[in-house]
Amino acid sequence: MNRKRKLLIPLLFCSAMLTACDDKSTENAAAMTPEVGVVTLSPGSVNVMSELPGRTVPYEVAEIRPQVGGIIIKRNFIEGDKVNQGDSLYQIDPAPLQAELNSAKGSLAKALSTASNARITFNRQASLLKTNYVSRQDYDTARTQLNEAEANVTVAKAAVEQATINLQYANVTSPITGVSGKSSVTVGALVTANQGDALVTVQRLDPIYVDLTQSVQDFLRMKEEVASGQIKQVQGSTPVQLNLENGKRYSQTGTLKFSDPTVDETTGSVTLRAIFPNPNGDLLPGMYVTALVDEGSRQNVLLVPQEGVTHNAQGKATALILDKDDVVQLREINATKAIGNQWIVTAGLQAGDRVIVSGLQRIHPGIKARAISSSQENASTESKQ
């Protein structure tokens, strides 16, 4: 009996040792399984924004040129200041123009007098013709002279009108309300009618245009997606926002006006024009800006955090997922557009997939991993940039 006890004790000790080893192996295996953060994808809707480069363009531009020649005797504006429509900018010496007007008026008076005498002569010839006291030829001559005299009156009146207009043109005014630029002439300069160089340029900057460029590929893609119903556009004007060169967002929201129907052969792009309020003059002509154009709402899309998207040696987008058995799988995906810190994925993934977004350095395809909820778990729900 004692001998049996002696044999049983070592056996129980060995069994306990084996059980402890098995438990420790299980614990070690569990400890060696890497933990990864995952995001479970679910379809949602997102507002799609296109980021387009552009430059600011004045709403109206008037290059001021003289319509009559003469000497500039006065400049009536301060460079860089606002001018209103009809404000006087320059005064050209009116004396020669006034003399031309006086001469034209004298010519008109002479023509009127000649016409009056011609009319009296014609009426007399017409009366005498009835009694055959004058020949038909004398009558015709009188009628011709009257017609010529009346024509000369018309010419003289036109000369007076033109001289009056020229005298008014001596006061060079602004045709628009805007901001004046640098004057190219000073007092005493001789200018000529319709000269090539502008005296000054006036630009209307409130509102102001922004000309944007969009590639033909993106333009056609957007048209196709709208036509197929993938993107739903809001009826009415399309809102546009601006980022300035200093990285700040412009405070005013603009609207898209139109798209140029012509493709630029050099750049392969189309031009879109937006209009923005510019009450404080923050936008100046020629500024480089980046516009965010609201294309519309895309329905039933999958959004994947950027941390979960990588690119292989061929430049193709890929993502690591955990399958139903918690095995890491590599998927090649089609990431079409970045929305904030997420990608729109149109192929390679589906709703319910668990995309790995953290712990990527500890895993590779084919191994098991333990999923933990990521802070970006709801990344694929409805989002707006």
Strand pairing report for 383-384 and 44-64: parallel
Q: Are 151 and 124 in contact (CB under 8 A)?
A: no
For position 58, what pLDDT does the model report? 97
For position 113, what pLDDT does the model report? 95
pLDDT bin (cut points 50, 70, 90) of residue 82 is: very high
Residues 207-247 pLDDT 10s: 999 999 988 888 887 777 777 666 666 666 788 999 999 98
For position 132, what pLDDT does the model report? 78
Map out the domains of the chain as residue ranges. 33-46+300-384, 50-58+204-296, 69-93+170-197, 95-169
* 33-46+300-384 is classed CATH 2.40.420.20: yes
- CA 5, CA 264: separation in Å to the nearest integer? 99
Residues 149-171 pLDDT 10s: 999 999 999 999 999 999 999 99
- The pair phi, psi for residue 118, each rounded to 5°, is -65, -35
For position 383, what pLDDT does the model report? 47
- Assigned CATH topology for domain 95-169: Helix Hairpins (1.10.287)
For position 381, what pLDDT does the model report? 44
Percent of the chain with pLDDT over 70: 86
- List the beta bridge partners of residue 190: 71
For position 18, what pLDDT does the model report? 47
pLDDT at 373 over 70: yes
What CATH code would you report for 69-93+170-197?
Answer: 2.40.50.100
The answer to whether domain 33-46+300-384 and domain 69-93+170-197 are alike in fold is no
Interval 66-92 mean pLDDT: 96
Of 31-35, 60-64, 65-69, 363-367, the one with minimum mean pLDDT is 31-35
Of 5-19, 177-191, 322-336, the one with minimum mean pLDDT is 5-19
For position 377, what pLDDT does the model report? 55
Contacts of 50 (CB under 8 A, 6+ apart): 214, 218, 222, 292, 293, 295
> What architecture is domain 50-58+204-296?
Beta Barrel (2.40)
3-state secondary structure of 223: helix
Residues 304-320 pLDDT 10s: 999 999 999 898 999 99
pTM of the model: 0.69
